[in-house]
Amino acid sequence: MDNERSPLAQPFPNMPTIGGVTLRTARAHYKDWDRADLTYAEFAEGTAVAGVFTQSACPSSEVEIGREQIKNGTARALIVNAGNSNAFTGYRGREAVDQIMTQVAEHLGCASEQVFVSSTGVIGVPLPKDKARDGVAKVLTAETCTWEEAADTIATTDTFAKGATASAIVGDKTVQISAIIKGSGMIAPDMATMLGYIFTDGAIDPAFLQELLCAANQQTFSCITVDSDTSTSDTVLAFATGKAGNAPLASFDDAGADAFAAALHDVCRQMAHLVVRDGEGAQKFIAITVSGAQCDESARKIGLSIANSPLVKTAIAGEDANWGRVVMAVGKAGEPADRDKLSIGFGGIWAARNGQPVPDYDEAPVARHLKGQDINIEVDIGIGSGRATVWTCDLTHGYITINADYRS
């Protein structure tokens, strides 16, 4: 975390411990950082797991292995390596992951398939097995740590530690959810995103947990973008230890399932927003609400076309209500639209309606809105009832500075 703290940063929340989850960190020295870079979470026996992963055609070994592991539905441990993504490293990368899984499984006396591994950082450098072995040995016996220390340790170019929490009443029990996430650039998740970890003491059937995570993902992580670039390592995992003692949830028919689903969705939305708030070079947080599209998925695609447009993002950076660029981004989205029914507004004020500028459009309140940190863009396609909100940040000199100077 050498970069200047994002102006959109939020304080780390007060997050409850989760029964059945133990956190530890250590230094594996993957990079020349003066901080911990290896995070370990240990789970009670019987912990359920669900996950969503990058859709990249060139994923990391961690993602390939993780997709298989999820099918078993149970987890005992998570290891996160920061500073080296281990992606595009062939058999050597896979060997490093296998070694870590075996080492942790021997320590816990569990199956190696119950040990989940993630890595984030530079692409194309095999994770050094000696450093991994020493780091894992250290972390297995390290002092336990706080949520904030764990969130700091999984970070790379992030400028602040990111955590989210929520709770739900399930039957007569309170179920807690605590989550950490990292992400700053290469953010345009496609059904999954970055590295995010959700921990709950709820008792949830793994298949149902997977169903809930996929649903939340679709309206949260899949609705954010920083720079339209999709990582080879995007991963969000949810672990449910069952220590809350609630009657296990297996479907929406179970009492409290709706409440738990809402809390999980809330945590995912918080996490997704935090990633955007730490977007590389971000100065403004932008919510784009698209209504009147052919269907919800069409609205989401149009929203992402706007959110990924460098001309829209630079206009917001320049505090310019350049709605013509929004028209352009709707037009290029490849989704049904009718120019003469299209309306565009900023901060609740229509600048253009039904394919034409609003005649008595008063730019003064819009200009005031654009000077703020939280920007709202409203787009009404005018042809249906599809609706979605997506979130992004502006595109500034900071993004260029960070990414043109970063050395592989």
Q: From the candidates 54, 193, 225, 241, which is the catalytic residue?
A: 193
* Full DSSP string of 109-145: TS-GGGEEEEEEEESSSPPPHHHHHHHHHHHHTSPB-
Active site residue 241: no
Backbone angles phi, psi at 89, to 5 degrees: -125, 10
**Nearest residue (CB) to a copy of itself, 64 versus 211:** 64
Q: With contacts defined by CB under 8 A, name the span among 27-35, 162-170, 293-301, 395-403 that binds a copy of itself.
A: 395-403
* 408 belongs to an annotated ligand binding site: yes
Give residue 237's identity as a one-letter amino acid code.
Answer: L
CB atoms within 10 A of CB 54: 24
**Nearest residue (CB) to a copy of itself, 163 versus 292:** 292
Tell me, residue by residue from 265 to 304, as one string, x for binding to a copy of itself by CB under 8 A and - for no binding. Answer: ----------------------------------------
How far is the C-alpha of 258 from the C-alpha of 59, rounded, in Å?
Answer: 33
**Which of residues 45, 172, 229, 297 is near a copy of itself by CB under 8 A?**
229
CB of 256 to a copy of itself, least distance (A): 38
Tell me, residue by residue from 82 to 121, as one string, x for binding to a copy of itself by CB under 8 A and - for no binding. Answer: ---x-xxxx-x-----------------------------
Tokens of 242: 């069952």
Helix H, strand E, coil C: the string for 368-393 is: HHHHCCEEEEEEECCCCCEEEEEEEE
Q: What is the strand order of the sheet 21-26 is part of?
A: 21-26, 38-43, 77-84, 115-122
**Would you count residue 58 as binding a copy of itself (CB under 8 A)?**
yes
CB atoms within 10 A of CB 152: 23
Cα of 220 vs its chain's centroid, Å: 8
CB of 9 to a copy of itself, least distance (A): 22
Q: What is the strand order of the sheet 162-170 is part of?
A: 48-53, 235-240, 195-200, 173-182, 162-170
**Nearest residue (CB) to a copy of itself, 152 versus 278:** 278
* 182 belongs to an annotated ligand binding site: yes
Tell me, residue by residue from 163 to 202, as one string, x for binding to a copy of itself by CB under 8 A and - for no binding. Answer: ----------------------xx-x-x------------
**Would you count residue 66 as binding a copy of itself (CB under 8 A)?**
no
* 193 belongs to an annotated ligand binding site: yes
Active site residues: 193
* Binding-site residue ranges for substrate: 156, 182, 193, 280, 403, 408
